[in-house]
Amino acid sequence: MGTIRSLYSVDQYAEALRRFIAEKIPKIAGDIHTIVVDASSLHMKIQIFTEKIDIWYSEMNEEGFYESLAFTIEAKEYQDSPHITRIHYAGPRDKVEESKILEWLNSLLGDTKPAVSFSLKEFSKRVDHKLTDFKAFAPSP
């Protein structure tokens, strides 16, 4: 195994690598698909795929305990309401868990406006149109 001797300390290399990462991330942010953070008070893994995002997040609170969130965000396959994504997590439905997840996600979204993909008026027009088309092919009495 080759060995290189250096005059710099481990702390100096660590600081240089932190600066390098901080400089590179903004340049490649749009291309990042997996983020893994393992720090003393924060552990996180985020995987961004085409139609879904997997998130595992754990952060130490003021009392020294870890608060954890684990969930998946994915596009809904059907449009029957204004909701265009679904967020699911392991275990039975839990209002406390749901509020923790939504609170955390809303803190990330800030003042971002929701994407509008559903209009009851437009949906009704499509249903009426399909009913009209169906009636045209119905046998005459």
State pLDDT tens for residues 14-49: 999 999 999 999 889 888 899 999 999 999 999 999
pTM of the model: 0.70
Q: State residue 29's pLDDT score.
A: 86
> Do residues 30 and 44 make contact, with C-beta atoms less than 8 angstroms apart?
no
Q: Coil, strand or helix: which one is 75?
A: strand
Q: Coil, strand or helix: which one is 59?
A: strand
Q: State residue 24's pLDDT score.
A: 92
Q: State residue 104's pLDDT score.
A: 93
Q: Classify residue 30 as left (phi > 0), alpha (psi -120 to 50) or beta.
A: alpha
Interacting residues of 85 by C-beta distance below 8 A, sequence separation 6+: 73, 74, 75, 76
Helices marked H in 1-141 — which ranges? 10-28, 95-109, 120-137
pLDDT tens sequence across 75-133: 888 767 777 889 999 988 999 999 999 999 999 998 888 876 666 666 666 655 555 55
More confident residue, 124 or 11: 11
Alpha carbon distance 86, 81 (integer Å) = 12
Furthest CA-CA distance within the chain: 96
Q: State residue 132's pLDDT score.
A: 55
Q: State residue 120's pLDDT score.
A: 64
Q: State residue 8's pLDDT score.
A: 87
Across the strands, what pairs with 66?
60
Alpha carbon distance 130, 124 (integer Å) = 10
What ranges do the domains of the chain cover?
33-136
Strands, sheet with 85-88, edge to edge from the N-terminal-most edge strand: 34-38, 42-48, 52-60, 66-75, 85-88
Looking at residue 63, the DSSP 8-state letter turns out to be T
Q: Classify residue 43 as left (phi > 0), alpha (psi -120 to 50) or beta.
A: beta
> At residue 138, does pLDDT exceed 90?
no
